Structure 1
Amino acid sequence: MTALTEAPPEAAGVPAPAAKSNGGGLLTYLIIRFLLIIPTILILVTMVFFLMRITGDPITAALGGRLPADQLQERIHQAGYDRPILIQYVEYLGQIFTGNFGRTISDNRAVTEMLATFGTATLELAVNAIVVALVIGIPLGMIAAHRRDKGADAGLRVFAILSYATPVFFAGLLLKLIFAVWLEWTPVAGRATTATELALTQLSAPTGIYWLDALRSGDMAAFWDVESHAILPALALGLLTAGVFLRLVRTNLIGTLGKDYIEAGRSRGVSEFRLVTKHAYKPALIPIITVMGLQIALLLGGAVLTETTFEWKGLGFQLAQYLSARDFVAVQGIVVLLAVIVALTNFIVDVVAALIDPRVRY
């Protein structure tokens, strides 16, 4: 009896199909994701520009009623705000591409200089808040999954809801009252004491990130001074995201713990703690990496209220000041920068997610 065998495609003169290249798939995915940044930023810039013009020209909005009519019209003409709105829009796009965001109206300061000065403070606060969110959210999420449907799980779920639902300014005021006023463990406000700020700003080529400048100078007293001021703002802002991470870790860990390979581990006598921390933990982190990019936008939005509450002089604090002064040129520059940061952060998160999980690329 002769066995029937199928000849390979090459034997019949037909070329075999090429294997799918993971590298090509990843490169195509990254190029597409990067190119999507351009229309995203363009749409945001356009929306911000026209929304800022709804109330009229920025000069009148900021200085109307404080300058004589002739001086006001002269400044409007010099700034070009009496030209057609579409011409102003095209010119503004050209200025952005060259890195020129104009000058603030209230204090006649280059917007790019203002963004560089205060942007580092917001970056420092956002990084500290992310660290707090990860340190609190991930371990508590693992505990909630491990103690599913028990008292600890119920308590942690309530904590997650409260941390996300509590307004960040209220959480900040409550933390200040408890730890700064009643217990006197931390400073009330600011990024550092006046002496430390003067010392750090006088360093050669300061980065503007105070804890980094303190480490560069080797001044550990200044470092601890900076960190003591950062504890409460980072905690107030980090708790906003910690609740999201807690619920995500819990949900994904519970789903992973029901997989066949986890059940096989249980049947071999592997402890539940080891299953959670070693085998189910890493797969459950992939959604967190994806959501982390979305949380950056939430953190930057919360930074406005956090910085105002703690007098943390970053972009959020300055945004509140410029809004009060109706300085829409400065507001426009800050909002555009925050939009660029969010878009680039989401791209980086997409890259990391694609490297960890190849299914994201297709």
Structure 2
Amino acid sequence: MTATVTGPEATAAPGPERIRTKRRSGGGLGRYILIRALLIIPTIFILVSLVFFLMRSTGDPISAALGGKLTPDQLAERIHQAGFDRPLIVQYFEYLGQIFTGNFGTTLSDNQPVAQVLLHYGAATLELAFYALIVAFAVGIPFGLIAAYFRDKGQDASLRIFAILCYATPVFFAGLLLKLVFSIWLGWLPVAGRASTSSELEMELLPNKTGIYLIDSFQTGDPAVVWDVLAHAVLPAIALGLLTAGVFLRLVRTNVIGTLSTDYVDSARSRGVSEYRLVRKHAYRPALIPIITVIGLQIALLLGGAVLTETTFEWKGLGFQLAHYLQARDFVAVQGMVALLAVVVALTNFIVDIIAAIIDPRVRY
């Protein structure tokens, strides 16, 4: 015969299952962050290694950049001075050591430290990516909600076609169309550049310029400069932002439709809650979680698209300079810039994963 314990004694000592549950819930986030942080190291190592060996598969950088400009003796001397005649594995480990100290080498075409080039032009690419993300959110999320609200109707079909066109249209082609319509035909917006010459000169005089024109324009205190900077950013931001907006639109639509079929939404619907309120109140926030988880991947897409966007609009950022160094066959500069972009993408994915784990605890397990 088993005695049944009642009263305070029954609840004083939690069972083993409750203890394990508490331990899991308490240490889940910390363990998840630690694992994700440790995974960054091999990820960056693999990316940097791939970039190095792919670049060197074409030969040494000196011959690629200056092969037709120097005599064979001069070329051999330059190769020896740069150390590119040593075994590849020796060059590889030396390159890794340089990267850990922040030394990405020196460009061959204009003899500048690659790290300095990255700092100088990186602000422009960061600014463009920020504008593009704003466009992606402003277009993708509302249109995704509308498509889910009018599921399987004409509005839904039209928006799905729009999303496919956004993702499938080459960035440079979208940029050329935007320039043709809004710059040449209508004359509303500038054709190219980050700002007019007069605005750039005014921002150059700032004692604490950041290289991000939007911040620098506000520092001048001149509304005309602020408007000039924003006007130059509209077309590049739309051309690059629509690429990601198509992805966001499809994600929001799919997840809102999935949320609308859950039990708690059916319960709210049975109480007479309108479909519009269900979408806006019950299905909107859960649909944003998948978007947060893919932002890291979209950053990589934006950085890849920035090369074509910056070239099309002469937006002098990393993408513009990368195209310039590719044409000059300056593989030292290309190698450093691609390695940095790989590191940025890896770190961005780490940050996004942590944000997603904080918002949705299910991600941690």
**Structure 1-normalised TM-score?**
0.96
1:126 partnered with 2:158: no
The one-character-per-residue Cα deviations of 1:276-320 (angstroms, maximum 9, x if unpaired) are 111110011110100111111111100001011101110001111
- The CA distance in 2 between the partners of 1:15 and 1:153, in whole Å, is 47
User: 1:271: how far off?
Assistant: 1.7
**Does residue 93 of structure 1 match 2:96?**
yes
- Answer yes or no: is the 8 Å Cα contact 1:40–1:343 preserved in 2: yes
Distance in 2, matches of 1:5 and 1:69, equals 94
Q: 5 Å matches for 1:195-214?
A: 195-214=198-217
Is structure 2 residue 218 aligned with structure 1 residue 215? yes
Q: Are residues 20 and 186 of structure 1, via their aligned partners in 2, closer, same or farther at CA, if it must alter by over 3 Å?
A: same
* 1:232 counterpart = 2:218: no
Is contact 2:32-2:364 (8 Å) kept?
Answer: yes
Task: Provide the rounded CA distance (Å) in 2 between the counterparts of 1:200 and 1:269.
Answer: 58
- Quote the offset at 1:73 in angstroms: 1.4
Amino acid at match of 1:17: I
Structure 2 residue 338 is matched with structure 1 residue 341: no
Distance 1:147 1:337, change over 3 A: same
The answer for the alignment partner of 2:364 in structure 1 is 361
Counterpart of 1:171 (choices 151, 174, 179) is 174
> Which residue in the other structure is 1:241 paired with?
244
Paired with 2:19 and 2:183, the residues of 1 have a C-alpha distance of 68
User: Which sits farther off after the overlay, 127-136 or 269-278?
Assistant: 269-278
Per-residue CA distance 1:217-267 (angstroms, 9 max, x = gap): 222211110110000000000000001000000000001011111122222
- Whole-angstrom distance in 1 between the partners of 2:352 and 2:59: 38
Gapped runs of 5+ residues in structure 2? Answer: none
* Matching residue of 1:306: 309
1-structure distance, mates of 2:274, 2:328: 61
Aligned match of 2:19: 17
Cα 1:213–1:15, aligned 2, differ >3 Å: closer, same or farther?
closer
Which residue, 140, 143, 153 being the options, matches 1:137?
Answer: 140
2:282 and 2:165 map into 1 onto residues whose CA distance is 30
Rate the CA distance shift 1:123–1:14 in 2: closer, same or farther, 3 A: closer
Task: Quote the Cα distance in structure 1 between the aligned partners of 2:267 and 2:3.
Answer: 39
Q: Per-residue deviation at 1:10?
A: 7.8
3-state DSSP class of the match of 2:44? helix
Q: Does 1:182 align with 2:192?
A: no
Taking a change above 3 Å as real, the CA distance of residues 12 and 285 of structure 1, as seen in their structure-2 partners, is closer
What is the CA–CA distance in structure 2 between the aligned matches of 1:11 and 1:292, rounded to whole Å?
A: 45
Percent of aligned positions with the same letter in both sequences?
70
Whole-Å Cα distance in 2 between the matches of residues 15 and 62 of structure 1? 66
How far off its partner does 1:193 sit? 0.5
With normalisation by structure 2, the TM-score equals 0.95
Q: CA deviation at 1:21?
A: 4.4
* Partner residue, 2:37: 34
| Aligned residues of 1:163 and 1:242 also touching (Cα < 8 A) | yes
Give runs of ≥4 in structure 1 deviating > 4 Å: 2-16
Does the 8 Å contact 2:202/2:220 carry over to 1?
no
Deviation at 1:205, TM superposition (A): 2.3
Contact (CA 8 Å) 1:9, 1:16: kept in 2 or not?
Answer: no
Counterpart contact for 1:9–1:15, Cα < 8 Å: no
SS of residue matched to 2:23 = coil
Following the alignment from structure 1 to structure 2, what is the Cα–Cα distance between the partners of residues 166 and 13? 59
Question: Does 2:294 align with 1:291?
Answer: yes
Checking the alignment, whether the CA contact within 8 Å between 1:163 and 1:240 is kept in structure 2 is yes
What secondary structure sits across from 1:187 in the alignment?
A: coil
Mapped partners of 1:119, 1:246: distance in 2: 28
How many residues get paired?
362
